[in-house]
A and B are shown apart, each in its own frame.
Chain A
Amino acid sequence: MFTKKNKPKKFTLVRKRVPFLFILPWIIGFIVFTLGPLVFSLIMSLFDWPIAGETKFIGFDNFKTMFTADPQFYDSLVITLKFALIFVPLNLLVALVLALLITQPIKGIKIFRTIFYLPAVVSGVAVSIIWGWMFNSEYGVLNYILSLLGIEGPDWLIDPKWAIITIVIASAWGVGTMMLIFYTDIKGIPYEMYEAASIDGAGPIRQFISITIPTITPTILFNVITSVIAALQQLTLVLLLTGGGPLKSTYFYGLFVYNNAFKHHELGYASANAWFMFIIILLLTMLIFKSSSAWVFYEAEVKKERKGRKRK
């Protein structure tokens, strides 16, 4: 009895330690590179923290300045939200359409798949430089093509009305990753479902709405969340393509934080800015998760429900 009782206990202890040992490199990396800076930046946000010279504890003054004395804070926040509002739905739609296209069984589809995914591999810096050339109103490729169609293209990077659209278009270049996620999910839908549906007389649009969309809602949820976060943190493109211009119309929140830290050398204030954005992202993500029970469909849920019903 005694030995029998002891053995499993020792076993569970070992079993508990070993997995931790395996993920130890990740844990260390997480603490040093993510949690550490995170906690540190929270501390910094309570200080007047110049690059050189004395740091001074100022309590919540950074947050006070941000909310009461810095109009650029609100401007940047509005611009960023506006961008997210245009970018997220558009990006989802484009990704979904592309994913549907590359699931079609036609000849040479592999080539298209590669082409559509390729831009996602290119670094943001290169994308910015390339788009800088494409968007040039006088000599850019884009306006040249438009002029062939008899359309006079806008001054993409000069006209403040167009600038945000410009960034949306350039950002959409990174749609490949999202497309790939949709693609794998759509590919995973059993063919029998479509077969059964078509026997019942459902056309391709009906099939798409009643089978494809409900099945991939978990993926849509994932893509919504990641692209909301990506949109709110967008920095590379505005930093390199527009520098926040024209007339500060693309002065995104990310750029606002970056400039406060590395141009104006107010590290404490920038940390406060960053933490505010962190909270916004957190709330938005929670909101989306909350809403997901209304529209996201999990197979496991249905099974459970059925079981429950049977018991009754």
Chain B
Amino acid sequence: MNVPKKMKLFFLFTIVVTLLLSACSSSDTNGEKAEDGKVKLRFATWDVGDDVELQQGLIDEFNAKNSDIEVVLEAYGGDYDTKITAGIGAKDAPDIMYMWNYPQYKDALEPLDSYIKDRGEEYKSNFYEALWNYNSVGEDIYGLPVGYTTHVVYYNKDLFDAAGLEYPQAGWTWEDLQAAAKKLTNKDKKITGFAFPGQPDPYDFEMYLWGNGASYVDNKGKLDGNLNSKKSIETFTMFQNMLEEGTAITTEGWGDTEMKSGKVGMFINGAWYLSAFTEAGINYGVVEIPAFGNNPSASIVSSSGIAMSKDSKHKEAAFKFMEFWTGEQANKARLSFELPVLKSVVESEKLQEDPIKKVFYNMLEQSEGYTPTSFVTEDWSKLSDELSLVFEQIFNPSTRVDPKEALNSVAK
């Protein structure tokens, strides 16, 4: 009899201790002042390696200039979303954080409209217009743009030369791309003209629909009549046809591995691979995404911004730092790995004359006014999962479902 009773006591004791401890852990660590009276700000970044060192250097500069503020960098790396999520959930979010998926986090973020208004119209208009769309949800701005990339066509110059083809030019069409892909494809040498992911990210894929005058949803978030519209089905059918003809392959990752192997003529992605391809010794060029007929093509923007936690205790100080972090000096400091978002920096650094970088800016200007479905619909993460599965069914060789049927199954 005695032993079970003791066990019970022990169990009870552990539960009590547990609850006590969990109660203590949620105590407020935000907004604490450093011992010397400085305002302490926590700043979370997703960058890794050398980039973090560069960021730390910039922060040191800021801290030296602002004697009343001390910014502490927290580099979360690959697990960024998990850690941010956990931090927000535990009411212990960093004051300032890198952000791109605003709809997902908007309830935990501080709207910035009033702060931006205080800085004047010119402050706002110096950023590329298209980027504000990606740093807002609905009418409210939640972040300041830090960097971005649009998507462009990378093409392998050596393969084009070998096939006796001219390099693609801005204003080309999907018909031109398909014709080029056909000529590039060489079964004996295992060379394929075009490659795209077999499991495309629905967030990215919408840009092809935009280019054809379609989108997943209308501005009320309705799928039926949009995702399964004639233009949308036409777009998917075109991609599927390229696979059937053998002039395109699906890739297992994003396609960069295949591109690096030198066996793929063209693939579409963001600016992330510029240096990797150079290192791999691929003689490549970039060009704007082809158009459907006369419609100018559009690109999804993969943007990064910084946002402020709603629970931050030092909002003015936080915004001061955010202003510094998105200012001209910081934009220039990141030039080696990030495309500047300020018009004044693009001008002073003459990026419009850079044969590669200018393509990304052209795509950015062409993509103004498009809003990704993830910013319109309520439950994007679920819809994205459904879409992803359907896209895979359309492109996977073991299924190759008719696009019309597949898209209807989600839309209706």
Residues of A within 8 A of B (CB): 31-32, 35-36, 39-40, 50-53, 132-133, 136-139, 155, 157-161, 243, 245-248, 259, 262-265, 267
Contact = CB atoms under 8 A, between A and B. Distances in A.
A246 B198 CA distance: 9
Contact of A158 (B85, B382, B396): B396
A263 B381 contact: yes
A31 B21 contact: yes
A265 B104 contact: yes
B15 interface: yes
Contact of B392 (A36, A246, A259): A246
Contact of B399 (A52, A53, A137, A247): A247
Closest 6 CB pairs of A and B: A52-B108, A52-B107, A36-B18, A264-B381, A53-B107, A51-B89
A161 B398 contact: yes
Contact of B397 (A50, A155, A243): A155
A245 B107 contact: no
B252 A247 contact: no
A51 B85 contact: yes
B199 A245 contact: yes
Q: Is the interface of B mostly helix, strand, loop or mixed?
A: helix
A248 B389 CA distance: 7
Contacts of A248: 389
Given A31-B21, A247-B389, A52 B198 contact: no
Interface of B: 14-15, 17-19, 21-22, 81-82, 85, 88-89, 104-105, 107-108, 190, 198-199, 249-250, 252-253, 257-258, 261, 263, 381-382, 385, 389, 392-393, 396-399
B112 to A, nearest CB: 17
Nearest to B82: A262
Contacts of B15: 35, 39
A136 B85 CA distance: 33
Contact of B258 (A133, A139, A159): A139
Contacts of B21: 31-32, 36
A19 to B, nearest CB: 14
Given A53-B107, A243-B199, A265 B392 contact: no
Interface of A is mostly: loop
A265 B199 contact: no
Contacts of A259: 385
Contacts of A36: 18, 21-22
A35 B18 contact: yes
A125 to B, nearest CB: 9
Given A36-B21, A265-B85, A267-B89, A138 B249 contact: yes
Nearest to A40: B22
Contact of A139 (B81, B89, B261, B397): B261
A137 B198 CA distance: 13
A247 B396 contact: yes
Contacts of A160: 396, 398
A137 B385 CA distance: 25
Contact of A52 (B82, B105, B249): B105
A157 B198 CA distance: 11
